[in-house]
Amino acid sequence: MMKELSRGDRSDAMPSIRHSFPMGLLPSGASIRSGSLYVAGVEIKRVAEEIGTPFFIYDEDHIRTTIRDAKGAFSGDIAFASKAFLCKAMAQLALEEGILLDVASMGEMYVAHAGGFPGDRMILHGNNKSDQELAFALEIGVGRIVIDSFDEIDRLESLAKADEPVSVWLRVTPGVEAHTHEYVMTGQEDTKFGFSYSAGAAEEAIELLLSSKKIRLLGLHSHIGSQIFMLDSFKAQFDVMAELIKRYGFLELNLGGGLGVAYIDGEEAPAIADWVSMAESYAKNSGLPDNLRLVLEPGRAIIARSAITVYRVGTIKRLKGIRTYVSIDGGMSDNPRPVLYESGYEAILPERMNDVSDTIYTISGKHCESGDIVVSSALLPSDLAVGELLATPVTGAYGYSMASNYNKVGRPPVIFAKDGRYRVVVRRETLGDLLRLEE
Ligand code: LLP
């Protein structure tokens, strides 16, 4: 299960009064001037006035710096897991920063490609890739396809051409139980992903692929889960993968993503540089060849903290002796994580960052479900009022990418901020958009 603090309940260890919000949960370019929150020099209040709420605002330099931190501590390749957040501007940023992109569907490949991201820098994942997805991958020359099943091998054999062999990795299930929420655990034996190491399926698939004329097996991949704080989970994964790499003499090893981030006050996650260095030192100390190409695929650790979601408070309902519900103009449609995984978030008032917070509120969305809670216990000022801006930090990963149109609520726009300016990179969905697909 997730670390206890991620579950969103305020533990006794957490403060019941707060004089200043922990800056470590905000984008690194966040600052406070006269109590007002700025991201990358852009005042949140101004953006809200200009484009309305809700919106996601990303600190572009935070993303770039995090990528550089990872690259600086790692001699292998970093691939950004685009499922965490993708739009054309993000694909362009990834290209400018010289990293690879993990894509896991036709749509992710298509958007990345439309953003000018070259196919040969993409890694295609998926436990059920369709003929159409595989054919598109071959068409745009995807760098590595990560084979996930025997059916996929058959499919690829019939689609690939003998004179243009396709380069692949094999996804191995190492049999490791990562310490995280069971919905985002992927390395254990009972999983739809990959080929089991212990049951011998990985070995069987490797032998099969090594005899193929159309498929070139260049290495192995594994990914044990997401929002992982305990680095020892990765060691167990590494040991299994190193054994296979040595046995077959492969020169490429992708260890996936999964590094956790802090969402709420008091949580602490390892730095991305420590995580990538750890992988590198495992490789060095285990007798793997010096020319082994290591790849890591972080999503959350690159992007989560770079964004906040900004809402406006519309209704406050004080239920005597029970709780106070503060309803905002978004909810589970722009952040389904609390509902899906009981994930915890904090809340802030971007126009009143210096005010003392001493009152617990429940921040609820506008959807027609009681479970539509965005922050189960938010510490905010006692005089919180209707009409104020309220933001949730650390929403850059798996927020916009998992957003929906539930209750026909349009998805918020996405803004990139840099050097005191901002640009809308994905516009707000309109009512017209909601009818766009109807015949
Ligand atoms: N590589 C593969 C093959 C993956 O499946 C994933 C995530 C990653 C890399 C990146 O993992 P990260 O570094 O972001 O942990 N929706 C969930 C997370 C699902 C992760 C799925 N796979 C959430 O909101 O917590």
Angle at which helix 150-159 crosses helix 131-139, to 10 degrees, equals: 50
Distance 38 CA to ligand 1 centre (A): 29
Instruction: Please tell me if the CB atom of residue 298 comes closer than 6 angstroms to any atom of ligand 1.
Output: yes
Q: How far, in Å, from the CA of 300 to the mean position of ligand 1?
A: 7
Query: Measured between alpha carbons, how far is 358 from 405 in angstroms, rounded to an integer?
Result: 34
More confident residue, 152 or 12: 152
Ligand 1 in reach of 171 Cβ (< 6 A): no
What is the chain's mean pLDDT, rounded? 94
CB-ligand 1 contact for 225 (6 Å cutoff)? no
Task: Provide the pLDDT for residue 10.
Answer: 62
Q: What is the pLDDT of residue 230?
A: 86
Query: What mean pLDDT do residues 224-249 have?
Result: 92
Mean pLDDT of 104-113: 98
pLDDT confidence of residue 11: 63
Residues 73-95, mean pLDDT to the nearest whole number: 98
104 CA to middle of ligand 1, Å?
Answer: 11
Report how far ligand 1's centroid is from the alpha carbon of 211 (Å).
32
Q: Which of 17, 319, 368, 431 does the annotation list as catalytic?
A: 368
Site to probe by mutation for ligand 1, drawn from 181, 226, 276, 337 as the one with most ligand atoms within 8 Å of Cβ, is: 226
pLDDT of residue 9: 57
Evaluate if residue 46 carries a pLDDT over 90: yes
- Which residue's C-alpha comes closest to atom 5 of ligand 1? 223
Going by alpha carbons, the residue nearest to atom 24 of ligand 1 is 398
Residues 192-219 have pLDDT tens digits of 999 999 999 999 999 999 999 999 999 9
Give the atom of ligand 1 at the shortest distance from the alpha carbon of 299.
14
The Cβ-side half-sphere exposure at 59, using a 13 Å CA radius, reads: 29
**Domains (range + CATH), the chain:** 7-58+306-435 (2.40.37.10), 60-304 (3.20.20.10)
Query: Best mutation site among 230, 255, 297, 392 for ligand 1, i.e. most ligand atoms within 8 A of its Cβ?
Result: 297
Q: Give the model confidence (pLDDT) of 305-345 as tens digits.
A: 999 999 999 999 999 999 999 999 999 999 999 999 999 99
Please give the pLDDT value at position 304.
98
Our answer on whether the CB atom of 258 is closer than 6 Å to any ligand 1 atom is yes
Contact 109, 134 (CB under 8 A): no
Give me the pLDDT at residue 4, please: 38
Compute the average pLDDT of residues 73-92: 98
Q: Rounded mean pLDDT of 241-257?
A: 97
Q: Over the stretch 254-290, which tens digit does the pLDDT of each residue have?
A: 999 999 999 999 999 999 999 999 999 999 999 899 9
Quote the pLDDT of residue 3: 42
Q: What is the mean pLDDT of residues 87-107?
A: 98
pLDDT exceeds cutoff 70 at 362:
yes
Reduced 3-state DSSP string for the chain: CCCHHHHCCCCCCCCCCECCCCHHHCCCCEEEECCEEEECCEEHHHHHHHHCCCEEEEEHHHHHHHHHHHHHCCCCEEEEEHHHCCCHHHHHHHHHCCCEEEECCHHHHHHHHHCCCCHHHEEECCCCCCHHHHHHHHHCCCCEEEECCHHHHHHHHHHCECCECEEEEEEEECCCCCCCCHHHECCCCCCCCCEECCCCHHHHHHHHHHCCCCEEEEEEECCCECCECCCHHHHHHHHHHHHHHHHHCCCEEECCCCECCCCCCCCCCCCHHHHHHHHHHHHHHCCCCCCCEEEECCCHHHHHHHEEEEEEEEEEEEECCCEEEEEECCCCCCCCHHHHHCCCCCCECCCCCCCCECEEEEEECCCCCCCCEEEEEEEECCCCCCCCEEEEECCCCCCHHHCCCHHHCCCCCEEEEECCEEEEEECCCCHHHHHCCCC
Mean predicted confidence (pLDDT) in 336-356? 97
Q: Which residue has the higher pLDDT, 358 or 6?
A: 358
pTM over 0.85: yes
Residue-level pLDDT at 162: 86
368 part of the active site? yes
State yes or no: pLDDT of 100 exceeds 60: yes
What band does 189 get if pLDDT is binned at 50, 70 and 90?
Answer: confident
Task: Give the whole-number percent of the chain exceeding pLDDT 90.
Answer: 90
The rounded distance, in Å, linking the Cα atoms of 14 and 7 is 13
CB-ligand 1 contact for 133 (6 Å cutoff): no
**Confidence tier at 126 by pLDDT (50, 70, 90):** very high
| pLDDT value at 395 more than 90 | yes
Question: What's the average model confidence in pLDDT over 143-154?
Answer: 98
In this prediction, residue 233 carries a pLDDT of: 84
Measured in angstroms, how far is the CA atom of residue 82 from the centroid of ligand 1?
Answer: 9
Mutate to test the pocket of ligand 1, among 83, 99, 334, 402 (most ligand atoms within 8 A of CB): 83
b vs e for 369-389, b when ≥16 Cβ sit within 10 Å of the residue's Cβ? Answer: eeebbbbbbbbbbeebeeebb
**How many Å lie between the centroid of ligand 1 and the Cα of residue 84?**
7
